[in-house]
Structure 1
Amino acid sequence: MTTLAAPARHRLFDLPGGRVHAVEQGEGPLVLLLHGFPESWYAWRHQLPALAAAGYRAVAVDARGYGRSSRPEGSEAYRALALTGELVALVRALGEERAVLAGHDWGATLAGQAGLLRPEVFRAVALLGVPYTPPGGPRPSEVFASMGGEEEFYVPFLQRPGAEAEMERDVRGWLAGFYATLSGRSGSVPPGPFFVPRGHAMRERFVTGPLPSWLGEDVLDFYAAEFERTGFGGALARYRVMDRDWEDLAAWEGEPLRQPSLFLAGREDASLAWLSDAVDAFPHTLPGLRGTHLLDDCGHWVQQERPEEVNTLLLEWLADVES
Structure 2
Amino acid sequence: MPQHAPETTHRLVPAPGGRIHLVEQGTGPLVLLVHGFPECWYSWRHQLPALAAAGHRAVAVDVRGYGRSSAPAAVDAYRMTELVADNAAVVHALGEDTAVIIGHDWGANIAAASALLRPDVFRAVGLLSVPYTPPGGPRPSDVFARMGGDEEFYVSYFQRPGRAEAEIEPDVRGWLAGFYAALSAGTMPAPGAPDPHFVSGPTGTLRERFPLGPPPAWLGERDLDVYAGEFERTGLTGALNRYRNMDRDWEDLAAHEGAPLTQPSLFAGGGLDASTTWLADAIEAYPVTLPGLMSSHVLDGCGHWIQQERPAEVNRLLTDWLAGLP
TM-score tier, shorter chain, comes to: over 0.9
Q: In structure 1, how many angstroms separate the alpha carbons of the residues matched to 2:293 and 2:127?
A: 10
Q: In structure 2, how many angstroms separate the alpha carbons of the residues matched to 1:37 and 1:16?
A: 21
- 1:185 is displaced (CA, Å) by 2.0
Cα deviations by residue, 1:123-161 (Å, 9 ceiling, x for unpaired): 000000000110000000110101121000111001112
- 1:83 is displaced (CA, Å) by 1.0
Aligned residue number for residue 54 of structure 2: 54
The alignment partner of 1:183 has SS state of coil
- 1:215 is displaced (CA, Å) by 0.4
Is there any run of 5+ residues in structure 2 with no aligned partner, and where?
Answer: none
Q: In structure 2, how many angstroms separate the alpha carbons of the residues matched to 1:3 and 1:293?
A: 30
Aligned residue number for residue 122 of structure 2: 122
Whether contact under 8 Å (1:91, 1:98) holds in the other structure is yes
- 1:14 is displaced (CA, Å) by 2.3
- 1:3 is displaced (CA, Å) by 5.8
- 1:2 is displaced (CA, Å) by 5.0
Aligned residue number for residue 269 of structure 1: 273
Whether contact under 8 Å (2:187, 2:215) holds in the other structure is no
Aligned residue number for residue 93 of structure 2: 93
Letter in 2 for 1:101: I
Where do residues 274-313 of structure 1 align in structure 2 (5 Å cutoff)? 274-313=278-317
Aligned residue number for residue 76 of structure 1: 76
The reply to whether residue 145 of structure 1 matches residue 149 of structure 2 is no
Aligned residue number for residue 22 of structure 2: 22
When normalised by structure 1's length, the TM-score is: 0.97
**CA spacing shift, 1:249–1:3, aligned 2, 3 Å:** farther
**CA spacing shift, 1:115–1:3, aligned 2, 3 Å:** farther
Letter in 2 for 1:17: G
The alignment partner of 1:27 has SS state of coil
Where do residues 1-323 of structure 1 align in structure 2 (5 Å cutoff)? 2=2, 4-162=4-162, 163-188=164-189, 189-190=191-192, 191-198=194-201, 199-322=203-326
Cα deviations by residue, 1:70-109 (Å, 9 ceiling, x for unpaired): 0111211111111111111111100000000000000000
- Which piece of structure 1 moves more, 305-314 or 266-275? 266-275
Q: In structure 2, how many angstroms separate the alpha carbons of the residues matched to 1:281 and 1:186?
A: 31
Letter in 1 for 2:199: V
- 1:279 is displaced (CA, Å) by 1.3
Percent identity at matched positions?
66
Cα deviations by residue, 1:180-222 (Å, 9 ceiling, x for unpaired): 0100122413552111101211111111101111001110011
Whether contact under 8 Å (1:268, 1:298) holds in the other structure is yes
Q: In structure 2, how many angstroms separate the alpha carbons of the residues matched to 1:180 and 1:205?
A: 11
Letter in 2 for 1:4: H
- 1:295 is displaced (CA, Å) by 1.2
Q: How many residue pairs end up in the alignment?
A: 322
**CA spacing shift, 1:135–1:301, aligned 2, 3 Å:** same
- Which piece of structure 1 moves more, 16-25 or 1-10? 1-10
Whether contact under 8 Å (1:36, 1:106) holds in the other structure is yes
Letter in 1 for 2:198: F
Whether contact under 8 Å (1:185, 1:268) holds in the other structure is no
Letter in 2 for 1:247: E
The alignment partner of 1:152 has SS state of strand
Q: In structure 2, how many angstroms separate the alpha carbons of the residues matched to 1:33 and 1:128?
A: 11
The alignment partner of 1:271 has SS state of helix
Whether contact under 8 Å (1:12, 1:22) holds in the other structure is yes
- 1:276 is displaced (CA, Å) by 1.7
Whether contact under 8 Å (2:148, 2:198) holds in the other structure is yes
When normalised by structure 2's length, the TM-score is: 0.96
Is there any run of 5+ residues in structure 1 with no aligned partner, and where?
Answer: none
- Which piece of structure 1 moves more, 1-10 or 44-53? 1-10
